[in-house]
Chains A and B, each alone.
Chain A
């Protein structure tokens, strides 16, 4: 579709209406010398030469195609069936701007509707929005939802220190100037304590509790009791979830969470260089009017045929202005589609197989690594596909040694948690073969010592 469908006649009519003779007059405010600055570009090269030069630059990058990765911490290396990309690149979907007009965009709207249905099923919740730009944004929007529910009558948000450090940073940024009290958001807290530590912080002024599932260290807790205790105090609970883990563990919906958000990247989206990615946001039906972002609903058109359309838009900022609960009026259309295609392709059973493979490989790796002298698991709780490993020496040095042998090592936890100096967060997915895990253990054995 054409986004700026303007004919020369229409352009002239518009110029005449605003009293301008020609288009260039609109740029009068820009001093002439700045309009076409000298760019000092090298001489033009042919397409063949450009392709060769760009190819060389691309080869200077190191990626998970050449290196074996055990790095996760929020972005995970999963297999992406090639069909995902083929569907994304269809001209009907591959646009820079998500077209929401129902008259011309039934395909896009239906894809979003399917995405919403999949996310609601995966999280065990009732409603999903059309997505956000990333998981951290979605987590921060949970605070906005809770703020709108309590309309300022409650002002405290309890954030577990085991929520992803970057998500906590985004939440802090988002809530600047809202006069909120953030409790629990302390990287130096005792990380051994479970959800009960959060319960203790919840009081009559608490509007929202945010926890992660599995938490940043990969640990899996059943939050049911904590959520019930928070509800008793009248607070809402947001669970930041890893979607792959939801294929095999109890859903946050079944734990009675009020909001479930997370990073959709594991669902058929490459890690690229940290983004773009996909934030999912699901909640209970009773909070749908406070929810940020777009929402697609199913209806019938004037011929009685099934049709899709943006729904409950009056709650959004373009209509509700300053009284809207969020300033988000868009979604991550293409990558929401990618995750819907991915989930449809692998199917319910296949997705559970992906999760179980990750789980078993991670546990195999952890068992082998724990046998190395001076190394061991930091925590004893059940975990999914990621675990904190004590390496007993600076992680930076260990990772350099691993890189020299073709491995991307784990995330350096000491950067965010002072008490976890010399600990790395190791992630294992279906992409890591047994041979690769064994080789990884072997290379670490070379530096391991008591």
Chain B
């Protein structure tokens, strides 16, 4: 499992990058969902989101999940490429798989990489 130490994580398996304002789904989440075939971003540039607001709806071949904002802020950018290449959520969840970027991101209930890894391990048991 890949858990970059520069990111912050939620219990709902989203990540937030305080340096860039980007957020998305974690590596753990994509491995649980298996092949992701569809992503719909539920927000537009200029929208204001609170931490915990739904930002995307994700469908894999066998499951469906909502992604929630890990941080509050104003949507500055959305990853429109995801609509055509949802599989990057599987292959590169922290890179090409970013979903939205916020300005003035105020993280909600987040933890650091070590705590998140522990949280994932506990769920595996």
Chain A interface residues (CB < 8 Å from chain B): 151, 289, 312-315, 319-320, 323
Residue in A closest to B66 when the chains form the complex, CB atoms: A323
Q: Taking CB as reference atom, which chain B residue is nearest A316?
A: B64
Does B60 sit at the interface, judged by CB under 8 A? Answer: yes
A-B contacts besides A289-B59, A312-B37, A323-B64, 20 pairs, CB < 8 Å: A151-B42, A289-B38, A289-B40, A312-B38, A312-B59, A313-B62, A314-B37, A314-B38, A314-B59, A314-B60, A314-B61, A314-B62, A314-B63, A315-B38, A315-B59, A315-B64, A319-B62, A319-B63, A320-B59, A323-B57
Cα distance A312–B36 when bound, in Å? 11
Q: Return chain A residues, CB-CB under 8 Å to B40.
A: 289
Question: DSSP class of B's interface residues: helix, strand, loop or mixed?
Answer: strand
Contacts of A320 in B (CB 8 A): 59, 64
Instruction: Report whether over half of chain A's contact residues are helix, strand or loop; otherwise say mixed.
Output: helix
Which B residues, 55 to 75, have Cβ-Cβ distances below 8 Å to chain A?
57, 59-64, 66
Cβ distance A151 to chain B, nearest Cβ, rounded Å: 7
What is the number of contacts between chain A and chain B, taking CB atoms within 8 Å? 27
A385 to chain B, nearest CB (A): 41
A320 to B60, CA, bound (A): 11
On chain B, the number of residues with a Cβ less than 8 Å from chain A's Cβ atoms is 12
> Chain B residues with Cβ under 8 A from A313's Cβ?
62
CA distance A151 to B42 in the complex (A): 8
Contact across chains for A314 and B64 when beta carbons are under 8 A apart: yes
Provide the B24-47 mask, 1 if CB < 8 A to any CB of A, else 0.
Answer: 000000000000011010100000
Give Cα A314 to B62, complex, Å.
6
Inter-chain contacts of B63 with A (CB < 8 A): 314, 319
Asked if A319 and B37 make an inter-chain contact with CB atoms under 8 angstroms apart, the answer reads: no
User: A347–B40 Cα gap in the complex (Å)?
Assistant: 40
| CA gap between A312 and B63 in the complex, in Å | 10
Q: How far is the CB of B116 from chain A (nearest CB, A)?
A: 25
List 8 A-B pairs, minimum CB-CB distance, nearest first: A314-B59, A320-B64, A314-B64, A319-B64, A289-B38, A315-B59, A314-B63, A314-B60
Cα distance, A313 to B62, chains bound together (Å): 7
Looking across the interface, which residue of chain A has its beta carbon closest to that of B83?
A286
Cβ–Cβ < 8 Å partners of B37 in chain A: 312, 314
List, sorted by A's number, 27 A–B pairs whose CB atoms are closer than 8 Å.
Answer: A151-B42, A289-B38, A289-B40, A289-B59, A312-B37, A312-B38, A312-B59, A313-B62, A314-B37, A314-B38, A314-B59, A314-B60, A314-B61, A314-B62, A314-B63, A314-B64, A315-B38, A315-B59, A315-B64, A319-B62, A319-B63, A319-B64, A320-B59, A320-B64, A323-B57, A323-B64, A323-B66
* Alpha-carbon separation in the docked complex, A112 to B27 (Å): 37
Q: Of B57, B62, B63, which is in contact with the most chain A CB atoms at under 10 Å from its CB? A: B57
Q: How far is the CB of A383 from chain B (nearest CB, A)?
A: 42
B40 CB to closest chain A CB (Å) equals 7
